[in-house]
Amino acid sequence: MRRPVTLRLLAGLAATATGAAVCVALTTPQASAAVGSATGFATGNGGTTGGAGGQTVRATSGTQIHAALCNRASSSTPITIQVEGTINHGNTTKVSGSSCNTAADVIELKQISNVTILGVGNGAVFDQIGIHIREASNIIIQNVTVRNVKKSGSPTSNGGDAIGMEADVRNVWVDHVTLEASGGESEGFDGLFDMKNNTQYVTLSYSILRNSGRGGLIGSSESDRSNGYVTFHHNLYENIDSRTPLLRGGIAHIYNNHYVRLNESGINSRAGARAKVDNNYFQNSKDVLGTFYTDEAGYWQVSGNIFDNVTWSSRSGDTNPAGPNPTSNTSVSIPYSYRLDSASCVPSVVSQTAGANKGIRTSNGNCTPQSPTAGPTSPTPGPTTTTPPPTSNPTPTPSQPSGTNLSIGAGSDGSSKASGTSYGDVRDGNMNTAWSPSGTTGQISIKWGSATTVSKINIREAAGSVGTIRNWRVLNHDTGAVLATGTGAGVISFGATSLRKITFDITSSTGTPRVAEFETYAS
Active site residues: 243
At residue 476, what is the residue type? N
By residue count, the chain amounts to 523
Q: From CA 331, how far away is CA 333, in angstroms rounded?
A: 7
Q: From CA 57, how far away is CA 92, in angstroms rounded?
A: 17
CA-CA-CA-CA dihedral for 74, 75, 77, 78, to nearest 10: 160
Residue 269's nearest CA partner among 314, 300, 242, 293 is 300
- The number of CA neighbours under 13 Å toward the Cβ of 475 is 22
Q: From CA 450, how far away is CA 20, in angstroms rounded?
A: 67
Contacts with 232 (C-beta within 8 Å, 6 or more apart), sequence order:
203, 204, 205, 245, 252, 253, 254, 255, 257
CA angle 132, 181, 352 (to 5 degrees): 95
Pairing of β 246-248 and β 217-218 = parallel
CA angle 493, 394, 454 (to 5 degrees): 15
Contacts with 138 (C-beta within 8 Å, 6 or more apart), sequence order:
48, 49, 50, 113, 114, 115, 170, 171
The phi-psi region of residue 186 (left if phi > 0; otherwise alpha if psi is between -120 and 50; otherwise beta) is: alpha
Contacts with 132 (C-beta within 8 Å, 6 or more apart), sequence order:
106, 107, 108, 109, 110, 158, 161, 164
Count of CB atoms within 10 A of residue 331's CB?
11
- Residue 84 to residues 4, 27, 155, 375, 411: CA-CA distances in angstroms? 36, 15, 22, 20, 57
Contacts with 170 (C-beta within 8 Å, 6 or more apart), sequence order:
45, 137, 138, 199, 200, 201
